[in-house]
Amino acid sequence: MKQPYEKNLLEEIRKSGGPVYPPAAGNTGWSCPSNIAIVKYWGKKIFQIPTNPSLSMTLHEARTLTRVEYDHDPKRTRREISFRFEGREIPAFEERITSYISRMQAYIPCLSHTSLMIDSRNTFPHSSGIASSASSMAALAMCLVTLEQDITRGTAPGNLLKKASFIARLGSGSAARSVYPRLALWGKTDGWSGSSDEFAIPVTGFHKEFEGMRDAILIVESGQKKVSSSAGHQLMEKNPFAPVRFDQARGNLLRLQSILEQGDWTGFIAVMEEEALTLHAMMMTGKPGYLLMQPGTVSILHRIMEFREETGYRAGFTLDAGANVHLLYSRQDAGAVEQFITSDLLKYCDEGMMIRDFMGEGPEKIMS
């Protein structure tokens, strides 16, 4: 069954009768950040609909830069797509992107007559073990919706960011959240007006306590993950604890609403750490179960909890689907927390690798 936004979009496209646009060639480019989820998206239904809502902080440093040269000709029957990643052709990536763009033609009809040369690169090292699907699919989605506006001379229906989030979600769920600054929410949630399973929305009006929040990404294990997120989402279908987990996420989002409004760091850390531990508990209790934390991960988590207890600084951890730890902390406590990272945590990181990141302002247009 079609969801409401998709249904409306397809209806508007149908009503417009598929007008033919004159030939156009040009380029567009976007730099999009990655994001770190506070409430995790883990489990999905058909058509990339999440089994629970999620909320994330948009990062600043970890980004993907994507440039697209396009050549649109309504008479063209066979469009070509080429994709280069960090200057190299990678056939597996090109295949995935070509099939994604073919699916997106339903929502951006002019793509069927448009050849595309796509060039993409990340600001973070390929080997760092940081998932790039959120930033890369968001950057590509921003390029696709802006080139549609260029080709159709601004007549294509829909709000640009909402459509970009919708298109990004169909590439990778977490990418839906990366088109907004600061904090974003994806998934229909009681009490959050405008929330949707089809696209993310920006979260505004949170307390200034959380402004400029820092994220030290501690790279415990670089290299490729042993179990992909897609496989992880799929394992949730048969996880006996899944229904309880989905309720927990919904409850955590309700709790977060007042936590964010009131600037309650204690509540924020409690929700964030519970979410991180549950995410990994879901991995361990799947069939088959698996374990992505490494000894270094566990040591870091212990040290962070001890440090907070001893000092009262506003710092807590979260985890992605991997061994690396994100240490989120208040900008006001940055000096002390960064000293603690150097003295106590870097020794657990792969070659002392760490990325210093912080709450970012979302996508930036690349001017060429």
Contact residues toward ligand DP6 (CB under 6 A) are 37, 40-42, 54, 131, 133, 172-174, 229-230, 233, 279, 320-321
Q: How many helices (H) and strands (E) does the chain have?
A: 9, 14
Least Å from the CB of residue 44 to ligand DP6: 6
Helix (H, G, I), strand (E, B) or coil at 75: coil
Question: Residue 173 or residue 296: which is nearer to ligand DP6 going by CB?
Answer: 173
Return the percent helix, strand and coil in the chain, to nearest 5.
Answer: 45, 25, 30
- List, in sequence order, the alpha helices (H) in the chain: 4-15, 91-104, 133-151, 160-171, 229-235, 242-262, 265-284, 295-311, 334-340
> Tokens 């302002």 belong to which residue?
361
Given a contact cutoff of 8 angstroms between Cβ atoms, the answer to whether 53 and 174 are in contact is: no
Question: Residue 100 or residue 348: which is nearer to ligand DP6 going by CB?
Answer: 100
Question: Residue 215 or residue 320: which is nearer to ligand DP6 going by CB?
Answer: 320
**Both tokens of residue 165?**
């989030």
> What's the alpha-carbon Rg for the chain, to the nearest Å?
21
**Both tokens of residue 322?**
């991997």
Q: How many CA atoms lie within 13 A of 186 on its CB side?
A: 35
Least Å from the CB of residue 229 to ligand DP6: 4
**Both tokens of residue 118?**
């796509």
DSSP letter for each residue of 266-301: HHHHHHHHHHHHHHHHHHHTSSS------HHHHHHH
Question: Residue 41 or residue 107: which is nearer to ligand DP6 going by CB?
Answer: 41
Torsional class of 312: left (φ above 0), alpha (ψ -120 to 50), beta (otherwise): left
Least Å from the CB of residue 180 to ligand DP6: 14
Given a contact cutoff of 8 angstroms between Cβ atoms, the answer to whether 114 and 105 are in contact is: no
Least Å from the CB of residue 34 to ligand DP6: 9
Least Å from the CB of residue 120 to ligand DP6: 16
Least Å from the CB of residue 33 to ligand DP6: 13
Least Å from the CB of residue 222 to ligand DP6: 17
Least Å from the CB of residue 80 to ligand DP6: 26
Given a contact cutoff of 8 angstroms between Cβ atoms, the answer to whether 200 and 169 are in contact is: yes
Question: Residue 141 or residue 337: which is nearer to ligand DP6 going by CB?
Answer: 141
